Chains A and B, each alone.
Chain A
Amino acid sequence: MATTTKFDIPISERIQGLKAKRERINKDLRLNIERNRIITEYYRTHENEYPVMKRAGFLHKWCTTRAINIDDDDIFLGDAGPHTRSVHFDIEQTAHSWFKGCFDDTDERFRAAWQVPGSIWVSDAEREELLHLADYWVGKDIGATGRGLMPPDYFERFPPGMDITQLTGSYPGHFCPGYEKAAMVGFGAVRQQAIEKLEEIVKHTTADNVRSELFYRAIIKTCDGMIQMSKRYAEGCREKAKTEENPERRAELLRMADSCDWIIENPARTLWEGLQVILFYQNLITADGTHWADSPALIDSFLGPLAENDIKNGDLTEAQAQELFDAFLLQIGNQIIMFPKPNNDMLIEAHKNGKTMFDLQGGMQNIAAGMLITLGGQKTDGSGDYTIATEMMLLAYSRLRVAEPSLALRINKHTPERIWELGIHCSKRCGGLPQFNNDDVIIPGQMSRGVSLEDARRYGVFGCVEPGISGMEWSLAANCGAFGGGAGFLGLMNFCIHGNVDPMTGAQGRLPCKKLYEYETFEELQAEFERQIKHSLDFSARMNQFAALIFDTAWPVLSASIMMDGCMESGKDVTWGGAKYTGHGSMISAIGTIGDSLTVIKKLCFDDKTVTTRELYDALVANWEGYELLRQRILNEVPFYGNDMDEADDLVVWFTNLYADHYNSRPAPHNGTLNAGGLDLYWVGQGKRTWATPDGRRTGDTVSPASDPRQDAIKNGPLSYVKSVAKMPWVKFRFGGAINIRLDANSVRSEESTAKVRELIESYFTQGGIQFCFTVADTEVMRAAQKNPQEYQDLIVRIAGFSAYFTHLPVETQDDYILKYEIGV
């Protein structure tokens, strides 16, 4: 019985139409070739321009020549490309690693992959053009810059054929852009400030400021471009108004035109204008490229007063304001960045199974460019920052039931009752959106790395769960995987067991060590694991310096710098260390699998001495073949992480502290900080690549997701679960962490259940938890959705760091998800 509540207010007909349009387009997506054409042409004809000027030149060109696309029913304007929901990718990022495979394939295979319904349509002419464009970037792309400067020890570890994700560990970016400044100060004022700075430098040019001169010139050019782009949209609206027969729509288009003439250059005056600036600025950031997960934070802070003002003046009713937030949410979700990069085999296979390209993209990530919107929080003086916009955004999500962009709600002692209720209601309806973030842990965490209290209060969350200071911090999410910060830890544990060899591949690690049966004591094994972890993190920190240098050298990110505190003052791009704060994060994964494995070794082999290390080693080498009895004993008798049993949780606490202490203290690029985090998105994939582990896991089985305990190890229910997780050193996890918990549908049915969920979150936060996320879904509903996906299109579930449409997930992830919760969490 899904009980309807006071928050279930129907959406307007116009919004229903926009939502239906979006679902239609999902089956007929187009690649954003325009942006890649413009950047390639610009770079081709300006090869000798200084990198930051070249970037500005391209952005200016893009702003002033891109197609202006206004649909008949649009309430807001602007897409990444010439079509609504154009799928964006950066050709200069990885010119050939996926391109050639897709487009230089045989005609037959190319068509089977790209020219069938449900794919991203690429015509024969576009295919030819893309290959032509890509040819230019051979030897000139970001990967090439990286290959030109990475040191020998990098290449020893990562053989040739790498692309940008391996060079940096992940995409750069991952930050909360200065939306408030874009909307409430405007590009005109920034342009004026740059002119003044420039005049100063010209009077006295030194070795220290000569590069800044180029930076300010680049800023002026980019501002010019943006101001022109807005005016071009104004012109587009007027053109459209000329032929519009409906007088109401005609008046609306003319109002939009007047606003577009004003905004970008000048501060927003109305709610519509504030929202529209966010969209135009997001378009610029996407077009600038080479990054991901650029997340609007604290937008409700300035949108609230704009909305209040419109309502007070009688320009908007509350219902009309709500409609604007609904339309905004749909529009910002139209920013799609291709991730992961497809290949034709994958596409052809998917089409055979009736899956669309959208399914493939959405099943791996939050497809809306990895964006996450953060709502609520605190003002710099520590008072609560919740507005009518906070409420209306939460209502928009709960009514529209969309999974992208992702959503976070900041929680502190000022969070109003109604925001709590709405947040929990929304999360029930909308599969884990919002996640709840604990100010009391995150703010001290940010301060521990040198952020001032006032600034720490203005943090936002980007990507999945990562805190960063909104409009003040540039971040290179440098090693979500490749440098051993991420997937590495489980691999390192296996090195400690197998004498520095990965039994999966036979590959050697960097530090020779003993095999499991050669350790005399558990402490000796711990010391070895610690040595491996520190060595890996040192390497990671060293490579971070080079990864940052790639961008410092040739790939500035002006779209971030333009509204970033610190850049205008210092005359430095964010990639040169110009932002007020620079942070680089890392994520560890499989926390439960590692902790439980250590517990098994300690308890059975060293404490109880009921199994010899040799026997356990042999069982692991055999992938438990012939050792099923031992495996069953482990699964049924050893206490595991997630059940509030110190014996198991202590080892998780031990190695997560070790990791955070060591990583947080390493030197970071541009005198920023390295920040520990706990999250992964790929526990199914990581499991496939990982040999059997002492916790009874077989080779290839999934590992524990995010900071969660192992799927089948939860025996004592939700309270013990969150209490175990709360023991982790979350304040030190300055790059965030995630838990997901499914609450049984029965337990959230009654009216009072909302208050109980709130209590659960509050108790978890009081005990030191950093973030909380829950999903309500019946196993039966999920099973039914597997059978009849068409009828469950808006069933949203929470994955490790994002929410996804259940039916888009790969079947094995669906099965894993169901298994995780069948055991009664």
Chain B
Amino acid sequence: MEYENVAGHIYDIQGYAVHDGPGIRTTVYTKGCPLRCLWCHSPESQYHEFELSYLPVKCLGTDLCRDACINACPEGAISREEPVQALDGSGMIQKAKIDREKCTVCLKCTEACITKALYPSAWNTTVDEVYNRLDKDRGFFKNGGGVTISGGEAMDQFAFTYNLAKRLKDSGLHICLDTTGCAATELYEKILPYIDLFLYDIKHMDTVMHKKLVGVGNELVLTNARFLAEHGASLQIRVPVIPKLTDKEDNLRQTAEFCASLGEAVKLVQLLPYHKTGKMKYDRLGWRYPLSNVEPPAEAFMLKTLEMFQSYGLNCQLY
């Protein structure tokens, strides 16, 4: 089996990822993405550089560790919070407080933190290491399940993703690639033989709106979708339904028309209603949540949209 043991950086591996393709799947999440979607629910996936994540609920007070993180920080960016009651009722504690302006993300504090309240948002790994972890779940993949490589944008770490996909595919697993479509067409051409199913996002049909919502235009997305459809790929199109942003009827109709125009390559269209569960991840990074005034769409609206997609002869489902 020919592959290179390339290095990569990932921020999670999740078993029983039931929304990421057919059957039972384990998904590996690579870090780094060319898009900046307003509704992004994995903010730690956006940049290639690691962030400092902080989960204050796990901090048991800096008395306990004798200011481990404060002493470890070369920038003086960590100090003591105002005293609060400890969760276990043992008394008042002062948790770590991070000055994000001063923090240079050297991550020295994450090595010192004993409760892992402070931790890096991702880790460095290799194709072999990830393969060995995924291989443990092989027993669950018998009926059409397998591995999904997701992001960020997995194509942004192409050498890693390509070699991982190749190694997994050669070992007999079913591989999905979850992609925004924002990568060079020749890279898709190269990886195509190793991907059984592309989970492919169509976020908006109007390129101006697309740029406004996710930071880049949609030309490459649509071109690559057509390319893949014409070159024998299987596509599962995912359409985020974000109230006020992507839920206008003409946009959704054009999306459905586009999906239909790709022909038999499209096996399934998934309508993904906006949800807010990503918000707490922004808090951990100390970032502002960009969509504070958007609520999840009503069920009735989702059902109506579902019918509309189905009326184009598309195999379509919610979630």
Task: Show the binding face of A for B, using Cβ within 8 Å.
Answer: 1, 628-629, 632-633, 635-636, 644, 716-720, 723, 746-747, 749-753, 756, 759-760, 762-763, 766-767
Known: A723-B136, A723-B139, A767-B139. A760 touches B318 (CB 8 A): no
Specify which of A629, A632, A747, A763 is in contact with B140 (CB 8 Å cutoff): A763
Report the nearest B residue to A1, measured CB to CB: B299
Interface secondary structure of B, over-half rule: loop
17 further A-B pairs in the complex, CB-CB below 8 A; given A719-B16, A756-B24: A1-B299, A628-B60, A632-B60, A632-B64, A636-B114, A716-B15, A717-B15, A720-B136, A720-B137, A723-B137, A747-B16, A747-B18, A747-B19, A752-B317, A756-B18, A759-B143, A766-B142
Contact between B319 and A750 (Cβ–Cβ < 8 Å)? Answer: yes
A756 surroundings in chain B (CB, below 8 A): 16, 18, 23-24
Q: Are A759 and B140 in contact (CB under 8 A)?
A: yes
Contact status of A753 and B18, CB under 8 A, knowing A723-B136, A763-B24: yes
Interchain CB contact under 8 A, B115 and A720: no
Asked if B140 and A760 make an inter-chain contact with CB atoms under 8 angstroms apart, the answer reads yes
Which chain B residue shows the least CB distance to A763?
A: B140
Question: Would A629 and B114 count as touching, CB distance under 8 A?
Answer: yes
Could you give 7 example pairs across A and B, Cβ below 8 Å?
A632-B60, A632-B115, A636-B116, A720-B136, A723-B137, A747-B16, A762-B142
Q: Is the CB of A632 within 8 A of B23?
A: no
Q: Which of A632, A633, A635, A759 is within 8 Å of B24, CB to CB? A: A759
**A632: chain B residues within 8 A (beta carbon):** 60, 64, 114-115
Residues of B within 8 A of A (CB): 14-16, 18-19, 23-24, 26, 60, 64-65, 114-116, 136-137, 139-140, 142-143, 145, 299, 317-319
Q: Which B residues touch A719, using CB under 8 A?
A: 15-16, 24, 26, 137, 140
Which residues on the A side are within 8 Å of B14 (C-beta)? 717
Residue in B15, B16, B140, B317 whose Cβ sees the most chain A Cβ within 10 Å = B16
Scoring B139, B140, B317 by chain A CB atoms within 10 A of each residue's CB, the highest score goes to: B140
CA distance A635 to B26 in the complex (A): 25
Q: Assuming the A-B contacts A1-B299, A636-B114, A717-B15, are A751 and B140 also in contact, with contact meaning beta carbons closer than 8 angstroms in the complex?
A: no
Do the beta carbons of A720 and B15 come within 8 Å of each other? yes
- Please give, as numbers and ranges, the residues of chain A lying within 8 Å of B318 by CB-CB distance: 750
Asked whether A718 lies within 8 Å of B15 as measured between CB atoms, the reply is yes
Contacts of A635 in B (CB 8 A): 115
Whole-angstrom CA separation of A157 from B143 in the bound complex: 54
User: Given A628-B64, A636-B115, A763-B142, A718–B16 Cβ distance below 8 Å?
Assistant: yes
A479 to B292, CA, bound (A): 57
A644 lies within 8 A of B136 (CB): yes
- Whether A717 contacts B65 by the Cβ 8 Å rule is no
By beta carbon, the residue of chain A nearest B66 is: A629
Closest to B114 in A: A632
The residues of B that contact A762 with a CB separation of less than 8 Å are 142-143
Could you say which residues of chain A place their CB within 8 Å of the CB of B299? 1
Closest-CB distance, B240 to chain A (whole angstroms):
16
CB closest residue in chain B, given A719: B15
* Shortest Cβ gap from A150 to chain B (Å): 44
Closest to B144 in A: A759
Alpha-carbon distance A628/B114, docked complex (angstroms): 10
User: Could you tell me the distance between the alpha carbons of A756 and B145 in the complex, rounded to whole angstroms?
Assistant: 9
Interface-central residue, A633, A716, A751, A759, by most chain B CB under 10 Å: A759
Taking a contact as CB atoms under 8 Å apart, the answer to whether A629 and B64 are in contact is: yes
Instruction: List B contacts of A750 (CB < 8 A).
Output: 18-19, 317-319
Nearest Cβ on chain B to A7's Cβ, whole angstroms: 19
In the assembled complex, the CB of A547 is this many whole angstroms from the nearest CB of chain B, namely 41
CB distance from B296 to the nearest CB of A (A): 10
Beyond A644-B136, A747-B16, whether A759 also contacts B23 by CB under 8 A is yes
A717 touches B16 (CB 8 A): yes
B318 (CB) vs chain A CBs: closest residue: A750
In the bound complex, residues from chain B placing their C-beta under 8 Å from that of A633 are 114
Chain B contacts for A629, CB-based, 8 A = 64-65, 114
On chain A, the residues within 8 Å of B116 by CB distance are 636
Docked pose: A377 CA to B173 CA in angstroms: 33
Query: Across the interface, which residues of B come within 8 angstroms of A749, CB to CB?
Result: 319
A760 close to B24 (CB less than 8 A):
yes
- Across-interface contacts of B26 in A (CB, < 8 A): 719
How far is A766 from B140 in the complex, measured between Cα atoms in Å?
9
Which of the listed residues A1, A723, A749, A753 has the most CB atoms from chain B within 10 Å of its own CB? A1
Q: Given the complex, which residues of B lie within 8 Å of A723, measured CB to CB?
A: 136-137, 139-140
Q: With CB as the reference atom, state the residue of chain B lying closest to A636.
A: B116
Contact A766 B115 (CB under 8 A): no
Closest Cβ–Cβ distance, residue A545 to chain B (whole Å) = 42
- List, in ascending order, chain A residues with CB within 8 A of B139's CB: 723, 763, 766-767
Q: Which residues does chain A contribute within 8 Å of B317, judged by CB atoms?
A: 750-752
* A718 contact set on B, CB distance < 8 A: 15-16
Flag if A760 contacts B16 (CB, 8 Å).
Answer: yes
Residue of B nearest to A757 (CB): B18
Distance in angstroms between the alpha carbons of A750 and B273 in the assembled complex: 12
B-side contacts of A767, CB under 8 Å? 139
Distance in Å: Cβ of A755 to nearest Cβ of chain B: 8
Shortest distance between the CB of A489 and any CB in chain B (Å): 27
Within 8 Å CB of B15, what residues of A? 716-720
Rounded to whole angstroms, the CA-CA distance of A759 and B24 in the bound complex is 7
Q: Which of A628, A720, A759 contacts B145 (CB 8 A)?
A: A759
Expressed in whole angstroms, the Cα–Cα distance for A746 and B15 within the complex equals 14
CA distance A576 to B16 in the complex (A): 50
Residues of B within 8 A of A751 (CB): 317
Set of chain B residues within 8 Å of A1, measured between Cβ atoms: 299
Give chain B residues whose Cβ lies under 8 Å from the Cβ of A628: 60, 64
Give the residue among B18, B116, B137 with the most A Cβ atoms within 10 A.
B18
5 closest pairs, A vs B, by CB? A719-B15, A717-B15, A763-B140, A718-B16, A750-B319
Q: How far is the CB of B49 from chain A (nearest CB, A)?
A: 25
- Interchain CA distance A350-B69 in the complex, whole Å: 47
Closest residue of chain B to A749 (Cβ to Cβ) is B319
Q: How far is the CB of A436 from chain B (nearest CB, A)?
A: 16
A716's closest neighbor in chain B, by CB? B15
Chain A residues in 8 Å Cβ range of B18 = 747, 750, 752-753, 756
A747 to B60 Cα, complex, angstroms: 32
A759 proximity list for chain B (CB < 8 A): 23-24, 140, 142-143, 145
Question: How long is the Cα–Cα vector from A762 to B143 in the complex, in angstroms?
Answer: 10
Nearest-CB residue, chain B, relative to A758: B143
Per the bound structure, the CA–CA distance linking A581 and B26 in Å amounts to 45
Contacts of B143 in A (CB 8 A): 759, 762
> How far does the Cβ of B118 sit from chain A's closest Cβ, in whole Å?
12
CB distance from A794 to the nearest CB of B (A): 22
- Closest-CB distance, B13 to chain A (whole angstroms): 8
CB distance from A465 to the nearest CB of B (A): 23
In whole Å, how far is A396's beta carbon from the nearest beta carbon of chain B?
A: 28
A382 to chain B, nearest CB (A): 23
Quote the shortest CB–CB distance from B210 to chain A (angstroms): 27
Contacts of A766 in B (CB 8 A): 139, 142
Alpha-carbon distance between A747 and B24 when the two chains are bound, in angstroms: 11
Cβ distance B101 to chain A, nearest Cβ, rounded Å: 29
Distance (Å) between the CB of A721 and the closest chain B CB?
A: 8
A752 to chain B, nearest CB (A): 7
Q: State A469–B42 Cα separation when bound (angstroms).
A: 52
What is the CA–CA distance of A756 and B141 in the complex, to the nearest angstrom? 11
- In the bound complex, CA of A536 to CA of B152 (Å): 55
Q: Which residues of A contact B140 (CB under 8 A)?
A: 719, 723, 759-760, 763
Cα separation A636 to B23 with both chains bound (whole Å): 32
Distance of A97 from chain B, by nearest CB (Å):
36
In the bound complex, CA of A723 to CA of B135 (Å):
12
A321 to B114, CA, bound (A): 62
Question: Which of A633, A719, A750, A760 neighbours the largest number of chain B CB atoms within 10 Å of its CB?
Answer: A719
Tell me the complex Cα distance, A237–B137, Å. Answer: 60
Taking CB atoms, residues of chain A closer than 8 Å to B24 are: 719, 756, 759-760, 763
CB distance from A783 to the nearest CB of B (A): 16
- A760 to B318: give the CA distance in the assembly, Å: 22
Which residues of A are found within 8 Å of B136, using beta-carbon distances? 644, 720, 723
